[in-house]
Amino acid sequence: MKSETLAILREVGGFATLNDWSLIAVTGADAQQFLQARVTSDVKALKSGDGQESALLDRKAHLVAYFSLYFLDNTYWIVSTSDQTATILKELETYLFAEKVSFKDDSANKIFFTVQGAYSQKLLSQIISQDHLIGQSALDGHSIIWIRKSITGELGYFLIADKKDSSVISKLEKRAEEIHMVPLSKETLNTARIEAGLPQVGIDVDHENLLPETSLDINCVSYTKGCYLGQEVIARVKAQGAPRRGLMGLLFEKKVQDFPVNTDVLIDGKSIGQLKSNAFSPTLDKSVALILINREYRVPDSRLTVKIAGSPYNVQVVSLPFVIAKENSERAQAVYESALSLYTKGEEDKAIELLRQAISLHPMHADSYEMLGVMLGKRGQLDEAISLMKKLEQIDPESVMAHANLSVFYVQQGDKEKAEEEKALAMNLRMQQAAREFGQQQEKQDEKKRKAEEAQQRMGMFKQVIAIDAEDLLANFGLGNLYVELEQYEPAVPLLKKAIAVKPDYTAAFLALGQALAGTNQYAEAMDVYRQGIAVASKRGDFEPMNKMKEKLTALEAREVSTGAS
């Protein structure tokens, strides 16, 4: 039953009332300044309606608490699991001196309701704003705070109401069931969280961990803001590379037993890490686990034979998350393409139904508005067709087709004046687009010429250095990388290979060499280089180049499959 529920969550959505979350209000004239000096994120960057992940650290950058921080009007809201509430309040109050700041935890009087999944936006469309991450709205006469927050990897929202207004939650549950959402048990939510690779404080990470060990720093640290407690250590770890251990995923070949948290994972009798949250994944049909693993084994896609609780297992180390949720824009595009296919086969009614579904999934999907409007216009449903084109104009003010179709619809309605206005607007937009495209092409040509001239000057400098010292790392990499930028791939290859030979853990050189090899159609070697580079980057903690190499490797692997290359 859990597997069926989880599948529905992934494709449609689910809902639950939560008993283990809290909401802390931070107010006062000095609230922004106070929080800016304490938390890891850039509080000053928040505008009303914004939100960000954030953390509290001790002086040595160990994790004290992790939470979501939102700003609405004059109040900052801290949303966290309830087992962190006391720690957060204690930490904040400890560093409060003369500042005018107040903290209020009113969670005991609140009810927390969550909607997770693709259709959560549709369910809440009347009360939420897509442009904001937090807001306060009235629902059936009751005031609620809503926040955008995923706890399953899917698009999700929290709705927070007074307990005395619990009837509004019951109505929401009925509405959710009407669009085929399912109730989510605590067990299902936990499995979804693990599949999504979302660590839980107190289970997967705690005060014993440096923040960079947890992988949470990617989402919650600003490296451009001013000082905060633990900042110096965070900066030092970033400069030096990966910490001695890090949180990764462990994928088992099949379903295995659940293990206690902190069970050691052994190779040759030595611990390489400790298992954290683990469960059977219905989505993958395999058991998965979060693991705090030693740096030398922190290599994505590496396969290991390990011993856990006395038994051998074949496992694969993977980057988190295990399951990547589809974006609603991606889902809407797939539905739109299905509608287009049905329309070409003459199944208009089904196509119209799918287009409405695409718009429900992603209210900004311009192609669905246009296609649906045209189809309804041909059926004589002109009022709705006009409404759809006006919505398309709001979504895309430069849409020529919105005005061109409006012109046609107004002609059908006999309103020649409006039809001529829309026709003129469409023509004007076409002319503007043509002029802009011409200007952009000219700018690209000028930019390409400028880069080529600058590159020639820098090439001369690198060549002079190489003439003096053929082993110079920066000169070999710099010249090779310039060739890649200029799409002169063949001369780049030996230079970048030399850079890697001089410094085998030079992550940027692997990325550039992979591009150079792919540019010379040496695809198999390029994939091998990317795999080596990903392993190096993972051990060093160079996540940005690692992710770029993963993207390029995936693209090359997809090309290999589509072309049948060996």
pLDDT in tens, 21-32: 999 999 999 999
Q: What angle do CA 98, 100, 105 make, to 5 degrees?
A: 115
Top-confidence residue, 315 or 539 = 315
Q: How confident is the model at residue 543 (pLDDT cuts 50, 70, 90)?
A: confident
Give me the pLDDT at residue 564, please.
Answer: 67
Q: Is the pLDDT of residue 469 over 50?
A: yes
Yes or no: say if 512 and 496 are a contact pair by the CB < 8 Å rule.
Answer: yes
Residue 482: what are its φ and ψ, rounded to 5°?
A: -65, -40
Is pLDDT at 566 greater than 50 in this prediction? no
Beta bridge pairs of residue 39: 56
Based on the number of CB atoms within 10 Å of its own CB, is 412 exposed (0-12), middle (13-18) or buried (19 or more)?
Answer: middle
> How much is the average pLDDT of 550-562?
89
- The DSSP-derived string for 487-540 is T-HHHHHHHHHHHHHH-TT-HHHHHHHHHHHHHTT-HHHHHHHHHHHHHHHHHH
Q: Are 145 and 136 in contact (CB under 8 A)?
A: yes
Task: Please tell me the predicted confidence (pLDDT) of residue 240.
Answer: 77
Predicted confidence (pLDDT) per residue in 487-508, tens digit: 999 999 999 999 999 999 999 9
Q: pTM of the entire structure?
A: 0.84
What pLDDT, in 10s, does the model give residues 108-146? 999 999 999 999 999 998 899 888 999 999 988 889 999
Tokens coding 345: 């086969």
Contact assessment for residue 193 and residue 152, using Cβ atoms and an 8 Å cutoff: yes
Average pLDDT of the segment spanning 369-389: 96
CA distances, 90 to each of 76, 318, 497 (Å)? 17, 37, 54
What one-letter code names the amino acid at 96?
A: L
pLDDT in tens, 157-190: 999 999 998 899 999 999 999 999 999 999 999 9
My answer on whether omega of the bond before 260 falls inside 30° of 0, hence cis, is no
Domains and CATH numbers, the chain: 2-195 (3.30.1360.120), 244-323 (2.40.30.110), 328-436 (1.25.40.10), 469-563 (1.25.40.10)
- Please, which contacts does 304-307 make with residues 24 or more away whose CB atoms are closer than 8 Å? 304/267, 304/272, 305/267, 306/265, 306/266, 306/267, 306/272, 307/265, 307/266, 307/267
pLDDT bucket at 237, cuts 50 / 70 / 90: confident
Buried b (16+ CB within 10 A) or exposed e, 301-318: ebebebebeeeebebebb
Look at residue 1 and tell me whether its pLDDT is greater than 70: no
For 94, the token pair is: 């400890």
Q: What is the pLDDT of residues 353-362, one digit of tens each?
A: 999 999 999 9
Helix then strand then coil, in percent of the chain rounded to 5, is: 50, 20, 25
What's at 301, amino acid-wise? D
pLDDT the model gives residue 449: 84
The residue written with tokens 């699991």 in the block is 81
For the CA atoms of the chain, what is the radius of gyration?
A: 28
The answer to whether 67 and 107 are in contact (CB under 8 A) is no
Q: What is the mean pLDDT of residues 94-112?
A: 94
